[in-house]
Amino acid sequence: MSKEKKKVDNKRTVDPAALEVLERNDGQIETAYDRYVQMQPQCNFGRTGVCCRICLQGPCRITKKASKGICGAHDYTIVARNLIRAINGGAGAHADHGRHIIYTLIEMLEGRTLDYNIEDPAKLRRVAQNIGLTVEGKEERELLKEVLEVAMSDFTKISDEPCRWLEATVTEGRMKKFTDCNIQPRSVHTTISETMGQTHMGVDADPVNLIFQGLKTALADYIGMHIATDLSDILFGTPKPVTSEANFGVIDPEMVNIVLHGHNPLLSEMVVRAAREMKAEAEAVGAKGIKCMGVCCTGNEVLMRQGVPLLTNFLSQELPIMTGAIDAMVVDVQCIMPGIRAVAECYHTRIITTLSHSKIPGSYHVEFTEDQAMEKAREIINLALEAYKERIPDRIDIPQMKHKVTAGFSTEAVLDIFAAVNPDNPIKVLTDAIDAGQLRGVVLLAGCNNLRVLHDQSHAAVIKGLAANDVFMVATGCVAGTAAKLGLMNDEAVEKYAGEGLKAFIHKLDEANAGKLNDKLPLVFHMGSCVDNSRAYDLNTLMANEWGIDTPKVPYAASAPEAMSEKAVSIGSWCVTLGMPTHVGVTPEITGSALVDGVVLQIAHDVYGGYFIWEEDPEKSVDVILAALDERTWKLRVHRQAQERYETATISAGW
């Protein structure tokens, strides 16, 4: 590879801190940025979804010469099966997360772990009430036991009555639609299992039937995610606004630096707690203390609840190690590149895996168990203290870039902020601003990084474009990471990028909350990790109920400008099923079947009201998202005017 080529490779990011590390490294230590280039050209059969490896006769791929698989499967069957298996992969990953939290709470209730408590009893009561339990006169533990019984049932039951978490969190109209279309999930695990069965060789060949099962699976995913978020809040507290910092400048060379990476708060919360208790041990090895910082969604979890600084997002996860100042990177599950291990080999950094089903060969493994949570957290910190002693001072080079970030916007926190303007009906603050034309709508920014587009560029462009056009934005996952790292998640960004309407809206909230919040509000409201997309959807349901309409009429869109993971495919699919226009900035692997592409784009729209938009160009993405919002805002206004003028009961039933 020529020197010049390497330089181009190293510039596949717009994050200046990541860029500085890549340029300094100049291809010497291999990272994902290099491997992406080495991987080109990528296989077009896979890229378009027409490669089938579902049985041992395969791989079968659709070509001009072979228009069907050996078994006779058409391109549409192969593409649809692959797509819904991706949705299933995402649902399985989220279910793994939710199930672990349920299990830990059961262990806590039965006295087998003493390290966890009910941190947020008020949330416990709210959740119990929402899912239809009687709250009055019940002790906390009794109530939690009942909540867990419902959660377990929603995870495992095989009877066909609706899942309680779905019924409690979506509109009546959505529930009716799911029943009419026969996509009510029986439970999270049952649906995941059904989908594997339905996509086995020689079962379902009908692309529409397959895709509707995919949507059912996506709904099962939504249920699992919502349960995970609610139970995490009960266990660790519902996030409230918190100010911290983001990007590589948060690394402090005088501290023992521990990176928390992955998704599950069960261990990371304990490590943060243990780090606060072990300052003396850090001083004993010559450091000033212990600094925890986050990567990916574990980073989002501990930022939201503990104010722990966010170091970076998915794509640049290998790079902090190359500053020479990271003593340990502690990982749990999902989105952890095995590549971190090879980079750590070149430094003193310990990579520590913590779960039995998520290991990386050659790494340290401290098996996390609920009954010894704090003990394990201390063991992890001791490994970091050992590593600190092996640091090579000459190799430490930290890009001095960081930004203030204000995060912690759970749905409850957002409603509290609105309540300062309208205590009787907080959500009306948002719907009124849209009715008055001050805001053009709401967008949930979700999703990952993907080297098929320039790292962080699409995120930043979409955020700036929507801000200038008065869109209220909430964010989760790695797009929230981009906003935090690049200074788009604080009050300065409001002044710099918000259009007049959005600026006035946020200023009004700032004024009403003066003295209540420690900081002014940001341009983009951080709602948490990927699992917390359920929070963002709760906002949508509240808006729909306030307007007295179903969610397909609410000017609320989702956008995943740099989608990557199967979880993102699943989340995007439930966004569509739940009625949202859903922009994806990296076209998924379905274009090999025009029929499937059409079903996903058009039939899903006709039936569910939500729809996908594939648009890879960030500037055009802003335009298509705005058009989707404007169409709904306009219709809403016209229908409401007609409703008032003719005193009709409700807004028309069609989308």
Q: Contact positions toward ligand BF8, by CB under 6 A?
A: 263, 296-297, 314, 335, 447-448, 477-478, 529-530, 564-565, 567-568
Give me the residue label for tokens 């995120």. 459
DSSP state of 244: E
Give me the residue label for tokens 């050209």. 41
Q: Which is nearer to ligand BF8, 246 or 478 (CB)?
A: 478
Give the three-state DSSP class for 477. Answer: helix
If one asks whether residue 50 binds ligand SF4 (CB under 6 A), the answer comes out as no
Euclidean distance between CA atoms 591 and 607, whole angstroms: 21
Q: Which does 234 bind (CB under 5 to 8 A by kind): ligand BF8, ligand SF4, none?
A: none
Sheet with 256-262: list strands edge to edge: 364-365, 350-353, 328-331, 256-262, 290-295, 310-312, 242-246, 403-407
Residue 653 burial (CB count, 10 A): 9
**Least distance to ligand SF4 from the beta carbon of 568, Å?**
25
**Least distance to ligand BF8 from the beta carbon of 15, Å?**
14
Half-sphere exposure (CA, 13 Å, Cβ side) for 447? 32
Euclidean distance between CA atoms 611 and 602, whole angstroms: 7
Position closest to ligand SF4 via CB: 69
If one asks whether residue 54 binds ligand SF4 (CB under 6 A), the answer comes out as yes
Q: Which is nearer to ligand SF4, 35 or 53 (CB)?
A: 53
Q: Which does 602 bind (CB under 5 to 8 A by kind): ligand SF4, ligand BF8, none?
A: none
**Least distance to ligand SF4 from the beta carbon of 208, Å?**
19
Which stretch in 21-29, 46-54, 532-540, 581-589 sits in contact with ligand SF4 by CB under 6 A?
46-54
Give me the residue label for tokens 């200038």. 468
**Least distance to ligand SF4 from the beta carbon of 60, Å?**
3
Q: Which is nearer to ligand SF4, 53 or 276 (CB)?
A: 53
Strands 242-246 and 524-528 turn out to be unpaired
Give me the residue label for tokens 């409700």. 650
Q: Which does 586 bind (CB under 5 to 8 A by kind): ligand BF8, ligand SF4, none?
A: none
Q: Which is nearer to ligand SF4, 78 or 489 (CB)?
A: 78
Query: What radius of gyration do the chain's Cα atoms show?
Result: 24
**Least distance to ligand SF4 from the beta carbon of 55, Å?**
3
H or E, element range at 471: strand 471-476
**Least distance to ligand BF8 from the beta carbon of 447, Å?**
5
H or E, element range at 544: helix 533-547
Four-CA torsion 245, 248, 249, 251, nearest 10 degrees: 90
Four-CA torsion 542, 548, 552, 553, nearest 10 degrees: -110
Q: Which is nearer to ligand SF4, 580 or 590 (CB)?
A: 590
Binding to ligand SF4 (CB under 6 A): which residues in 58-117?
A: 58, 60, 69-71, 73, 78
Q: Which is nearer to ligand BF8, 154 or 221 (CB)?
A: 221
Q: Which is nearer to ligand BF8, 292 or 586 (CB)?
A: 586
Q: Which is nearer to ligand SF4, 78 or 622 (CB)?
A: 78
Taking Cα atoms as reference points, which of 623, 522, 631, 472 lies closest to residue 244?
522
Euclidean distance between CA atoms 575 and 581, whole angstroms: 8
Residues that bind ligand SF4 in the complex, under the rule CB under 6 A: 52-55, 57-58, 60, 69-71, 73, 78, 201
